[in-house]
Amino acid sequence: MGYIFVTFRSRTTSSQAYNFLQSKGINCSLFSTPKQVAVGCGVSVRFAENDFSSVLGQLGRNHPNFVGYFRVSDSSKGRVVTPI
């Protein structure tokens, strides 16, 4: 099963986004950004695919430290990371 994560240019912003989403009742976690995505600060916020519309509505894409949203899925060739 796949998941989505959002990454930022600073660890502080990633932590703030995590705390904000938690306060809104969205189940998420901080984790090391997958090596396939060589951008951002190295720490991202991970959440379930079915929460994407809620997260997008809460965080958007306009924060100055925003890098992007990415979908992680498994295929016969291994893990696939796709920008959203």
The 10s digit of each residue's pLDDT in 25-56 is: 999 999 999 888 888 889 999 999 999 999 99
Cβ burial of 21 (10 Å; 0-12, 13-18, 19+) is buried
DSSP 82: E
Cβ atoms of 17 and 26 closer than 8 Å? no
Q: What is the model's pLDDT at position 83?
A: 95
Q: What is the model's pLDDT at position 76?
A: 82
Helices 11-23 and 52-59, axial angle in degrees (round to 10): 120
DSSP 50: G
Q: What is the model's pLDDT at position 77?
A: 81
The 10s digit of each residue's pLDDT in 3-15 is: 999 999 999 999 9
